[in-house]
C-alpha cells in the first residue's frame, strides 16, 4: 500500500478506510490531501477485492473545509486555469460505495466531501455547514448542488446564504445524514455498514449505486427505464443465480462477485 503524508489507509477483509490526518489544521483539505484522497480511493476502486470504502477524520473534525490559508493568495486566473477542485470529480466517479463517518466539524469542503459519499453516518457531535459565504466566496466542491438535492432548496439556501452550522440531529431530520450514532461507536458502526455492503455481490452493488445516482441526472421516465434495463442485466450474473438459489435452499448466498 502506498504511504501518504495527509491520510492513513487501512484494510480490513473486503473493506478499506481512508482517514484524513492533518490534525493541526482540523483536516483542512489542501491540494496535497485532495490528491492523496483521490489517488487512494481510485486505487482501491480498481481493486476488486475491496467492496466498500469508509472515509473518516478525527473525533474533533471530519474536515473544517478547503484550506483557507492555501487559497488566500490565489488569483482568479490561478483558480480557473488549474480548474481548482476538479480532482474531486474523480472521487465522485468511484464505483465502490463510499461511506462518510463524520465526527466534529464537517464544514465547507468537509461537508461537500461527506456529500460526495454514498452513505453519511454522523456522530452525535458532528456539525455541518457551508460557511463559504462568510469568506466572501461560495461552495466549490458541489455544495450548492448536492446539498440542495439532499435537503431541498429552502434549507440549502438557509445554510449557504447565512453560513450557519447545524447539529447532527438537525442534519438527520433534514435528510443530509443516513443515521446518527454516539461518537464512541461511530467507526464501529461505519465498519459494520461497510462489511455488510462488501458481503454483497460487487457487480450488483455497482449497479445499485449507479441506478440511484442516475436519479439525480435524468427524468423519472428515463431513470426508471435505466433501472429496469440494469435490473435485467443482473440476470447475467453468476451472483444472481447464487442469490436466488441460496434463498430457495434456505442458506446464506456465497457470492463470487461475478
Residue 20 near residue 64 (C-beta atoms within 8 A): no
Counting contacts by CB under 6 A, is residue 189 touching ligand LDTOBESC? no
Return the CA Rg of the chain. Answer: 19
Counting contacts by CB under 6 A, is residue 65 touching ligand LDTOBESC? yes
Q: How far is the CB of 149 from ligand LDTOBESC (least distance, A)?
A: 18
Counting contacts by CB under 6 A, is residue 57 touching ligand LDTOBESC? no
Sheet architecture: strand order including 105-107: 61-63, 105-107, 127-129, 165-167
Counting contacts by CB under 6 A, is residue 251 touching ligand LDTOBESC? no
Residue 206 near residue 149 (C-beta atoms within 8 A): no
Counting contacts by CB under 6 A, is residue 69 touching ligand LDTOBESC? yes
Contact partners, residue 40, CB within 8 Å, separation at least 6: 2, 4, 7, 9, 18
Separation CA 232–CA 178 (nearest Å): 28
Contact partners, residue 180, CB within 8 Å, separation at least 6: 121, 122, 123, 124, 126, 168, 169, 171, 172
Tell me the CA distances in angstroms from 244 to 24, 180, 247, one per residue in order.
51, 33, 5
Counting contacts by CB under 6 A, is residue 142 touching ligand LDTOBESC? no
Q: Of 17, 106, 19, 120, which Cα lies nearest the Cα of 66?
A: 106
Residue in the structure block whose three cell numbers are 465522485: 92
Cα 12 to its chain centre, rounded Å, is: 19
Write the binding mask 115 to 134 for ligand LDTOBESC: x where contact by CB under 6 A, - elsewhere: ----------------xx--
Q: How far is the CB of 81 from ligand LDTOBESC (least distance, A)?
A: 17
Counting contacts by CB under 6 A, is residue 203 touching ligand LDTOBESC? no
Single out the catalytic residue among 132, 172, 190, 204: 132
Counting contacts by CB under 6 A, is residue 108 touching ligand LDTOBESC? yes
Q: How far is the CB of 111 from ligand LDTOBESC (least distance, A)?
A: 8
Contact partners, residue 43, CB within 8 Å, separation at least 6: 2
Write the binding mask 75 to 104 for ligand LDTOBESC: x where contact by CB under 6 A, - elsewhere: ------------------------------
Q: How far is the CB of 243 from ligand LDTOBESC (least distance, A)?
A: 42
Q: Which residue lies nearer to ligand LDTOBESC by CB, 162 or 218?
A: 162
Residue in the structure block whose three cell numbers are 488566500: 72
* Annotated catalytic residue 66: yes
Among the listed residues 7, 9, 18, 26, the single contact to ligand LDTOBESC using CB under 6 A = 26
Counting contacts by CB under 6 A, is residue 253 touching ligand LDTOBESC? no
Could you give the residue numbers annotated as active site? 66, 109, 112, 132
Q: Report the interface residues with ligand LDTOBESC, using CB under 6 A.
A: 25-26, 28, 64-69, 105, 107-109, 131-132, 135, 137, 139-140
Amino acid at each position: 500500500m502506498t504511504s501518504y503524508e495527509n491520510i492513513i489507509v487501512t484494510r480490513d477483509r473486503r473493506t478499506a478506510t481512508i482517514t484524513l490526518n492533518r490534525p493541526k489544521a482540523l483536516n483542512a483539505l489542501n491540494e496535497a490531501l485532495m490528491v492523496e484522497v483521490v489517488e487512494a480511493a481510485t486505487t482501491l476502486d480498481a481493486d476488486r477485492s475491496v467492496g466498500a470504502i469508509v472515509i473518516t477524520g478525527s473525533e474533533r473534525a471530519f474536515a473544517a473545509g478547503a484550506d483557507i490559508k492555501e487559497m488566500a493568495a490565489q488569483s482568479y486566473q490561478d483558480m480557473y486555469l488549474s480548474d481548482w477542485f476538479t480532482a474531486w470529480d474523480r472521487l465522485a466517479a468511484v464505483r465502490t460505495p463510499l461511506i462518510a463517518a463524520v465526527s466534529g466539524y464537517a464544514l465547507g469542503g468537509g461537508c461537500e466531501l461527506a456529500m460526495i459519499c454514498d452513505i453519511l453516518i454522523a456522530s452525535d457531535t458532528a456539525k455541518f455547514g457551508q460557511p463559504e459565504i462568510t469568506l466572501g466566496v461560495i461552495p466549490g466542491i458541489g455544495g450548492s448542488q448536492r446539498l440542495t438535492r439532499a435537503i431541498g432548496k429552502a434549507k440549502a439556501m438557509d445554510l449557504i446564504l447565512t453560513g450557519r452550522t447545524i447539529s447532527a440531529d438537525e442534519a438527520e431530520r433534514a435528510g443530509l445524514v443516513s443515521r446518527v450514532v454516539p461518537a464512541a461507536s461511530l467507526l464501529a458502526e461505519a465498519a459494520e455498514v461497510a462489511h455488510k455492503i462488501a458481503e454483497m455481490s460487487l457487480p450488483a452493488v455497482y449497479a445499485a449505486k449507479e441506478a440511484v445516482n442516475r436519479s439525480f441526472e435524468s427524468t423519472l421516465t428515463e431513470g426508471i427505464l435505466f433501472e429496469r434495463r440494469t435490473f435485467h442485466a443482473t440476470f447475467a450474473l453468476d451472483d444472481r443465480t447464487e442469490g436466488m438459489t441460496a434463498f430457495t435452499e434456505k442458506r446464506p448466498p456465497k457470492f463470487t462477485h461475478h
